[in-house]
Amino acid sequence: MPDAPRQDPPGSDRRLEPAADHGEETYRGSGRLAGRAAVITGGDSGIGRAVAIAYAREGADVLIAYLDEQEDADAQDTARRVEEAGRTCVLMRGDLADPAHCRAVIARAVQAFGRIDILVNNAAFQRTYETLEDIPDEEWDYTFRTNIGAMFHLCKAAVPHIPPGGSIINTSSIQSDNPSPMLLAYAATKGAISNFTAGLAQLLGEKQIRVNAVAPGPIWTPLIPSTMPEEKVKSFGKDTPLGRPGQPKELAGIFVLLASEEGAYMNGGVYPVTGGRPML
């Protein structure tokens, strides 16, 4: 990547240089999610924004959950994109590490839409550390509460409102299979997410609710310049066979597929989108 200005966590799409591509100018919908209602955590920016744009253009109404006021402008921009597609967008700010907020997100979606057809558990927290001793105890716990604990609480609250044929999609990572030592806590949660996905798919099969995960490789989002060392940002994605990082728009298609009728027999899987870095 070219030199990218440092950002304070959690980072902002509006300050990302070079700008990320979420499919704003290119994604064309075909009604594959017409009339459905989706909850997308971390939907203000990055992968979540690309998914929100795609879902809206496929006909879905969307609730976007995001962390704090630093992300207000990104969330509002994403909402504008959803509304330009003729769909409803509800914004809800707050910390998903709090189980009560997870329940409030689901309650707000049910209030707005009457049901939840698609739950995309995408929000995540990460930091980089050179040594084990550098990782603060409270941050280790917070990473797990945000990345995997929130998924449990969101799913538990949402399942009574998801009809047969509904879909839960979790964002895992290539880190679940090929962990970077500097991302120890984050990578460990991504391994847990892949396992959680496989188990939950079996648990909810009798309800005809499918559960899958997408495992991105290096994707250019605000998380990168706000949490990674400068030298890592400069080389970000160059170690893939394609020789570049992915753009958020390049994940939108798999999230649409897993939520749609075309993916009706896809259940319990973890689907890599890694630019060719292997997950076996």
Give catalytic residues, as residue numbers: 186
By residue count, the chain amounts to: 280
Distances (CA, A) of 20 to 47, 144, 243: 10, 27, 17
Contact 210, 247 (CB under 8 A): no
Q: Which residue's entry shows tokens 């070079």?
A: 18
Peptide bond into 164 cis (omega under 30): no
How far CA 263 is from CA of 32, 73, 111, 210, 279, in Å, comes to 11, 33, 27, 9, 21
> Which of 168, 189, 172, 154 lies closest to 267, judged by CA?
168
**Contacts for 14 with CB less than 8 Å, ≥ 6 apart:** 73, 74, 77
DSSP string across 122-160: --------SSGGGS-HHHHHHHHIIIIIHHHHHHHHHGG
76 near 158, Cβ under 8 Å?
no
